[in-house]
Structure 1
Amino acid sequence: MRNIVILTGAGISAESGLGTFRDAGGLWTQYDLEEVATPEGFARNPALVHEFYNARRANCRAARPNAAHFALARLQREWPGEVLIVTQNVDDLHERAGARNVIHMHGELARALCGACGHRWDAPEVMAPDDRCPACGARATRPDVVWFGEMPYRMDEIGAALARADLFAAIGTSGTVYPAAGFVAEAAMAGAHTVELNLEPSATAGAFDEVITGPATEIVPAWVERLLGQAGGRE
């Protein structure tokens, strides 16, 4: 077993203080998703959308990586093969924990995108509708995140990695958002062993060979320790 693909979702960052869509009283409950997480909402009221993402950016800056993020970064460093982390999260906690070459399939809070020319750059702490693109000068700047109805990033790369995976793990995902919810089937078709690590079984838990439940900060480090121990035993 050489190639590992890991999909992470909101559940891995929840213990760092970044809420999920489903958290009662969280930031997401204060806004209508149709208004702040769709291209149509942005077209109607860009100021509201920027307000929402400015708040999310501030939340992200205040958060810190947790033991699960650090464990995956350790797995990347010590595993005698490829470990690709694909995340549905728009935070940078994997990178701050030391992970490298993370694919952010839903974009990144820390990046900005020009809707006119497609230029991308590091987002300032606060964005506003009148901000100009540093490349073309258009007032068409938006967060570089994938909204509902838009195509996730780097899907060809992800598909190629799943096709050569020996092990696929989904951590902290709901199993309800496609195309990510279909990754387990793609990996299984390629012959990979599949494992879900989650606070509770997801909607697609039955598709996995193995399901491990509990807080991410407990089960992910233990799983990584077990994997590295098995790898060491084979060497």
Structure 2
Amino acid sequence: MSSKNKIVVLSGAGISAESGIPTFRDANGLWEGYDVMDVATPEGWAKNPKMVLDFYNQRRRAVLDAHPNAGHFALAELEEDFEVSIVTQNIDNLHEKAGSSKVLHLHGEILKSQSSVDENLVYPIDGWEIKWGETCEKGSQLRPNVVWFGEAVPLFDRAIMEASFADIFVVVGTSMQVYPAAQLVDFISENVPIYVIDPKKPDMMGQKYDFHFIEKKASEGLIELKNILLKN
């Protein structure tokens, strides 16, 4: 077992937004002009799989061109002094690009494909495109390896396990409105400090927790947090 204190980070779209990756959806339920229900549900896939493939191919292209920002690097640098485990709602690979070694993708990974009949068949994608007609070993069309609305979140139990062992918990780039991820705080041990980085202080439920708010955007806030933790 590591003798280092364990930091568990729940990260969301706000940290990737600073690297130029648009956040998942705006107030109208749109994602870059598309109705979320058309491109992020099993029903949307059943209705128009070619459009869904094209949508994620374009997102994947943007991810491949994106670079980690100071927030991603601050988290990676914390591994020198802490055991750091990142549970992310993001489907990009910016945490890994920055050097973080332990990243759990709750909502899947856009740089991988999966079988449309067996979620356990997952493959790396060479380049930016899943082509229509590309199939898994069972002969079904490959789809993005992304958890859509209405689908189970298979890695949530592992995320709960990570949260339950946290000595310090960090929330960054997420409004804590997306479930089940928002429930992770319920599995943190009592008296574990929770640092919430958000330019607009979110309404965090359950004041029994030891909340510390850093009202800054993700990159600035994570640099500040790193300095706080290293001082302590």
* TM-score, length of structure 2 as denominator length: 0.89
Cα pair 2:84 2:102 within 8 Å, conserved: no
Q: Find the residue that maps to 1:112 and give its secondary structure.
A: strand
Question: What do residues 78-124 of structure 1 show as CA deviations (whole Å, max 9, x unaligned)?
Answer: 32xx2111100000000000001200010001000012243111124
Report the CA distance between 1:224 and its aligned residue.
0.8
Q: Find the residue that maps to 2:123 and give its secondary structure.
A: strand
Report the CA distance between 1:140 and its aligned residue.
2.2
Q: 1:59 aligns with which of 58, 62, 66?
A: 62
Letter in 2 for 1:4: I
Q: Take 1:204 and 1:24, find their aligned partners in 2: how far apart are those partners?
A: 20
| 1:77 lines up with 2:80 in the alignment | yes
Q: 1:33 aligns with which of 7, 31, 36?
A: 36
- Name the stretch that deviates more: 100-109 or 200-209: 200-209
Quote the residue 1:87 is aligned against.
88
Letter in 2 for 1:224: K
Letter in 2 for 1:220: L
Report the CA distance between 1:24 and its aligned residue.
8.4
* CA distance 1:126–1:141, shift in 2 (3 Å): same
Q: Take 1:153 and 1:73, find their aligned partners in 2: how far apart are those partners?
A: 25
Task: Return the structure number with greater helix share.
Answer: 1
Q: Find the residue that maps to 1:99 and give its secondary structure.
A: coil
Q: Take 1:91 and 1:68, find their aligned partners in 2: how far apart are those partners?
A: 15
Cα pair 2:116 2:142 within 8 Å, conserved: yes
* CA distance 1:61–1:74, shift in 2 (3 Å): same
Report the CA distance between 1:205 and its aligned residue.
6.6
Quote the residue 1:109 is aligned against.
110
Q: Find the residue that maps to 1:13 and give its secondary structure.
A: helix
Letter in 2 for 1:44: K
Q: What percentage of aligned pairs have identical amino acids?
A: 41
- Name the stretch that deviates more: 163-172 or 6-15: 163-172
Quote the residue 1:228 is aligned against.
230
Could you list the runs of 5+ residues in structure 2 that have no partner in the other structure?
none
Could you list the runs of 5+ residues in structure 1 that have no partner in the other structure?
231-235
Letter in 2 for 1:186: F
